[in-house]
Structure 1
Amino acid sequence: MENILNTAFRSLPPLLLAGLGGMITARVGLLNLGLEGMMLVGAFTAVIVNYFTGSAFAGLLAAILVCSIMGLVFAVFYLKFKVDNIIISVAFNMFAVAITQYLLGVLFGTSGAFASDRIRKLPEVAIPFLDQVPVLRALNSLSIVFWLALIITAVMSFVINRTTWGLHIRATGLNDNAVNTAGVNATRVRYICVILSGSLCGMAGAYLSTGYLAMFTNNMTAGRGYLGNIASIIGNRTAGGALAGSLLFSFTEGITMKIQTFGFPSQLIQLVPYLAAFAVVIASACRKRSRRRAKA
């Protein structure tokens, strides 16, 4: 059980950070499916900067910066040039796959994967007394990004639900005219939220390549950006709900790791998280439909 919990907790940060990124843009009326591409670019950036500087934190900060810029570009296309957000998302995801594969070959003369002794992993937080507590010892020696993700979740929940700025975010997703009438620029609120979404994806990608692993592989995000969006949806677009949805998928991943020890085909096992996501989306849709019928 503790092994499953530990694997689930180690799998949680990228799902949770992507879920928060999807949640904050959904709050202002934008479905951002480009989280996957932003995460992948973040993972690549973190490895490259880490390799050349020897600093895991430099790689993390660089990933956040680059993906924040990607968020800004996304916002410009969507808000200024009025490009459909689905088209932008697909373009971002395709661009991320292509540019990372290309630069991997240009910079290191390799394809598929890149690893080096010069890549430093993000530090882990040791909590000595947890070693003596059954079950809770699974929380020991987790990456610092795990704890940062939990703190960010709490802060975002407080800001959105308890502050004036959070009220602006919630109102922007409901009625732009009301927000503008109140003297708040709804477009600026959207810009900030999309940029914040990019920065969260940058942190998620950096964790994958320099926290969870210490290497980069092509398409290493493996659909986590989409799962994060689904976690946000089933969590009713709240920070706490995104955490709950992300925990569901991370525990599913932990269970699949355990199942592998019984000799099941790996291709079948890799489908489990996506089947779980599919089942949850269907259950959520059925629940909403039943509620509408009850109200009618």
Structure 2
Amino acid sequence: MFEVRERDGLGRIGVMETRHGRVTTPALLPVVNPNRPIIPPADLANRFHAEILITNAYILGRGPHRDSVLRRGLHEFLGFSGAVMTDSGAFQSHVYGDVDVTNPEVIEFEKRIGTDFGTMLDVFSEPSHDRTQAAADVQETIRRAKEADSLRGEMALVGAVQGGLHPDLRERCAREISTLGVSVCAIGGVVPLLESYRFQDLVRVIIASKKGLDPAKPLHLFGAGHPLVFPLAALLGCDLFDSASYAKYARDGRMLFADGTRRASELRESGCPCPVCTDHAMKEIAEDEALLAEHNLHTCF
């Protein structure tokens, strides 16, 4: 399923074979909000050459499109012929404090809609959690991973690594997850680090997790977000990383660049050679959410 073709330090180039085609890694998974897709998933494939994307099973299962996606299947519903990963709702528990769904319910829904890679419902271990709380997070995440493995059937399972900022807990969780029948290992609980620019802590978390992970399996970094982070993640051996920043920043009128973020309304020229910036005036871009999202995607890819 996953073959490493080239290595450079911890970084590597690989190939994942999926039910919906081949994915060359490192790969970016654009996040598609099923309730508000700024860029149609078909365009992600045709115009941006995305081989894989990620959407949220929790939002799909609790939203107005539940019946449609169950009836039509995930790929037809999205209009995307490539590989699709689904997230479980763990991030929503970080944002809202809790989610009204269980791990078995998430796995069953992911199986029914035909996702290529279904994520277990892990426990989001906050960076602020002390050792006692983080250890409890890890214990429950491992329990749920074993439960998900027993329920997954033929679905490729994404197993999440938690443990906060405690290196030994990260390594332990990673080692336990790697012994299961997971197809992809994922490092979770890092969005607060990225949002507060705590890159040293991020590096420590990734390295501690990798010590316990099976190197034969692809590694996903949940919520990598900004294109500034992608090279660092790849250097540290992450094969997959998702980003909703292209859409989130566009809604706020901000443009992503390789060296940072700028507010579109404050720019006279972007200095960017992407099709959006070469074909449209800055004033037009600044006032159009879709154009901003397209520019941001070009920067990400």
> Which TM-score tier does this pair reach, normalised by the shorter chain?
under 0.3
Using structure 1 for the length normalisation, give the TM-score. 0.24
Which structure carries more relative contact order (alpha carbon 8 Å, separation 6+)?
1
